[in-house]
Chain A
Amino acid sequence: MRATEVRPTGVERTFGEDELIVTKTDPRGVITYTNDVFLRVSALTEEQAVGRPHSLIRHPDMPRAVFQLLWDTLGRRQEIFAYVLNLAVDGAHYWVFAHITPSFDRTGRLLGYHSNRRRPAAAAVQTVGSVYARMLDEERRRSRTPDAVAAGTAVLEQILGEHGRTYDELVWDITDGSAR
């Protein structure tokens, strides 16, 4: 059961306003722990999820450049916030406001990554959706993956430049601006 085999049905799934979707992965991104909310929303059993790469729930409409930024940031041992569209294995999709942090042991060695995901505001999803659509449009014109990532990154940087904000600041602007 690979993510590429799942066809999006266009059905949107949501989860509770006060619920947290929690997963942990090893340093390579292989899932080591999920909470019950993750399994329910992704339509997975624990046996199907644990031991699989997190890209298991990657949605084809997510720009590759966002994941590139995500891994680059985590590679610098920094936290990152990102709006992510996920694909459940039953073809439904769900938006999350993800907060991913590296986990370290007492000596500072990387143990893996921890992701807390919250239900995003509809207004935030709309704003982010239009940004991702612009990125995706450019990425899909490139056949090679590195070219696609570079094109998507260029669009994102152009949008950030237009607003005079860093990625972090823009994400928080969207989050605070759509706070319920």
Chain B
Amino acid sequence: MRSVPPAGTGPEDAIRLVTEVCERAANGDLEARVPALGDTAGAPELRVAVNGLLDHIDAFVRESGAASTAAAEGRFHRHFLTQGLDGAYRTAAEQITHANQVMSRTAAQFADAARARQALADELESAVLTASEQVATAATEMGRSANGLADFARSAVTDAERGLGTVSSLRTSSEEIRHAVDLINQVAAQTRLLALNATIEAARAGSAGRGFSVVASEVKNLANETSSSSEEIMNQVNTVQQSAADAIAVLEAVTNRIREMSDLVDGIAVAVDGGHRSGDGGLSRLAEVLRSEVSRFVTTIRQS
């Protein structure tokens, strides 16, 4: 764009030149400026006025574009330079400045929120990590305890079963004693009958049988004593049998309780270690799943 006017620039040329520049500027070509228009009255002033107008439009367009770009890129220190712009230019510039300030505040709030989110993610991760470690430790402890309890219950059941066997054999033995005592009682009754017959025969023999009568009487006494002893033994045996029955009932009750307890302990072990049947794993596995899920969540949060 040469500013030296072509020779002989007249009013018509001046009007044409200004018109061309105005048309270019209207089409967005802000590089266009009015060249020298010659010396026609008012022409230099017209040129300065039109170029001044274009300079101000140019300055406004450059400032608004650059200030908005800077704000969009987060360079909020670069604001709209209003110096040299007046009236509607300045009003619009102030509006853009205000919009940029709002964007700046929003960006700052967003940055604060992002920082808070990061801190929260850090805290969550640390808390979940600690919790899952504790759960894993507790699960291991519980698993060990449950296994110990199960072992204990099994040996208790075995012991109780052995006790049951002992008491049952005691009952069998007392039954045999009763049979033996019955036998003794029968022998005593027959002995008593024999003694009675001997006494009668001794009386019939008179004085010759007197000595024998004394013996028969002693035999009868022995038979009587045997009977009364047998009765005592029977009473003792009955007591033993009753006690054995009671002991059996108690031992059976204890065994059943221990078996129930054993089932409960097995349930705990399954919950802690994860059963073979259930696919979802035990407490330790769940803690691990929770930790990895939270880790994935926290990673996503940090990237967003």
Contact = CB atoms under 8 A, between A and B. Distances in A.
Interface stretch (A53-61, A108-116, A144-152, A153-161): A108-116
Contact of A101 (B1, B66, B84): B66
Interface in B31-81: 31, 33, 36, 48, 51-52, 55-56, 58-59, 62-63, 66, 75, 77-79, 81
Interface in A1-52: 17-20, 22, 24, 32-33, 35-36, 46-47, 50-51
B86 interface: yes
Given A35-B51, A168-B78, A114 B3 contact: no
Interface residues of A, number: 30
Contacts, number: 66
Contacts of A101: 62, 66
Contact of A20 (B2, B4, B56): B56
Interface residues of B, number: 26
A140 interface: no
A79 interface: yes
B244 to A, nearest CB: 96
Contacts of B31: 24, 103, 111-112
A169 interface: yes
Nearest to B4: A47
Given A32-B1, A103-B31, A118 B84 contact: yes
Contacts of B63: 99
A114 B84 contact: no
A18 B51 CA distance: 16
Interface of A: 17-20, 22, 24, 32-33, 35-36, 46-47, 50-51, 79, 81, 99, 101, 103, 111-112, 114, 116, 118-119, 168-169, 172-173, 176
